[in-house]
Amino acid sequence: KVSLTVFNLLGEKVAILVEGLLPAGKHQSVWDGTDQSGNSVASGIYIYRLEAGSQMSSRKMLLIK
């Protein structure tokens, strides 16, 4: 099971980009800068969290419009 989620700096969930089962290998996902409701979010720093099985990784990213 794989989950790729975007959070703002307050820790609020902004968007879920990937959630479900994926085969092993390389994959890519593009975030269009919108939240779950389709509203555009502000430029700034966001955190993405990738969970795959028991592994989890979080990184910062910068959204520039």
Each residue's pLDDT tens digit, 1-57:
999 999 999 999 999 999 999 999 999 999 999 999 999 999 999 999 999 999 999
Confidence (pLDDT) at 52: 95
Confidence (pLDDT) at 10: 97
Confidence (pLDDT) at 7: 98
Q: Return the number of other C-beta atoms located less than 10 Å from residue 57's C-beta.
A: 9
What pTM was computed for the model? Answer: 0.91
